[in-house]
Structure 1
């Protein structure tokens, strides 16, 4: 590699079609679309100079640009189920060099279906190639599992292992059905006595651009293994994988909260978010709820700072309107489809939904979470809501959660910025 700063191009293939999980690459994990999570991991890597998303989908392209990457339209012949990742890499490599007028030294293949990829992982594979230790590199995780193989070919039912060599044959001498791949089933050594195996994570690969052009695939020459945390290894191929990723995100993601530079509007659910979700009913059927005075302080501070506010509730209840009047905040209540109402409100006020913070607590808030850039769950929200949130308050609903959100945006003293 030359002494000048090398051009390291990270390419994120992201087709619009997905049979296992519809619109998979736009599916949010931890409140952030998968493709945006991959972009952020690349942008946070020290050695990466350029990031582009190769896609055939306009929505994915828009999400990639909003996250800070370039978006490269992928030709139809490279967008089908049979198209290889290498074909997308080569197309992206050629298009980038033609557009930017400079040669790429190292190409990275980054898969956005690995939601817990870190910037350190990206830098790890890039470093092995940039600094000349290897021609190619990939992320792997330590594996201690015993692998087995079924000798019957699933495609046509024929036995494929009759001539398999080594110990472990069936004791009856008949046609073999199963055998150990990385072990002799007649002798199973202890974990500490076995050679260390590594599992390819599918998350990040690096290669010299010249080698990719010459060989047409991602593994050539000297290949380096970059060992990653096995707890973070997950590839999303079906809805169950996506559900697991969303459940793990609150545990694995770095805790982040927005500031005022990231948010133009704050939209608040009412029941369970501004209240503790309990209702008191008197003998005349009138409903009473409890709210937190600190929340009122936070709302007032946000209003003074020019943050646009809205209360959005599916309940048509006089108490919601009364609280909105008290806070001097517009309200939409008795709304059957909160997501449609939110989208219309954003359109009417020329607000980019990606710069909206929406705070909620229950599953009817999830459609709104999918629209906004900052979905926030209160501490005692439904598990599915917490899993889909980008940030979670420490305070439960009705116990100062809105005051806490205001402190994220304005600082702990809720001071009004100087004019």
Structure 2
């Protein structure tokens, strides 16, 4: 993004000032310094290459990885002057300036919203949950906002300028709350992390916030404690989520010959390990801003491909015959079900069939998916009835297809005739 020359001074169309003058900017959250998280939130918001003035009192920039210097136009500057003076000076160098705190947790949706909007405003907010942070603010300036007394925090400065009428008061409610990837609504957030207790609370908040709004019973109610304990050391050691996804691919396919040979204990051990890790890699990617196209392919591609291969291996392990014939029919129902859910997403411009209405959210907890069929088959093995259990799995897949086909038809009818929708 190139500056425009104005009276011999560089004047940037959009720029960012990050106040990293407090020692807390180096506090680590999920293995990453808070100031680094703020800068990665800028990238997540789509501000690649933007000019960023990083005001520091010590060596805040020393903790930043090389890739941030390559992807952002970072300019460290001394931060000894009062905050209001520094903000006012930076505002004169940009058509629009976003001002962020370097020890804050900032929702990328909020940054994206302010960068795309027009008009100067200040947006202040308290922590979304007790114990996870302190009040913070984000400013969007279009020129110097006027005089202000020395203020210790951006939230105090925002209150001063809003109170004097220099800035309009923004609202978190103006930021779209729906997160398509997570099939849920979550209000945007911004808050400072001022001590280790708030750091722990903010990690818990972010962890919970990154769960999908509609998912299966195991993922929602059983796995979270396991995922939390696995996620922490991986994040602190900065293990890339793609390594977790790659390992998951290996154990997923390693389970197939074990199932086919009837080695149920070994196969199920790998299967349940894979099932837990399938929650770990996505959380790790989102919480450390390391999502990638390869990770998406590994994670979601595996989710689609492997279930019918496991079911076929179960049938082979049981001796084939009737069981194998049933699973071939189930595979057809599985493919048809995936086509129906994809058709629904296309018909509704990106909305998931699992999040359209409360009934769909509730049904997603129990519909035929790996994490429902796996315990059903395991229970059958434990009671000595694996064959009948496999037939239950087949029947449940057919029932799931019928339910999704019905929902597709109902929603298609409602979209054609909105007045008749319930």
TM-score range relative to shorter protein:
0.3 to 0.5
Structure of higher RCO (CA pairs closer than 8 Å, 6+ residues apart)? 1
More helix by share: 2
More strand by share: 1
What is the TM-score normalised by the length of structure 2? 0.38
What is the TM-score normalised by the length of structure 1? 0.39
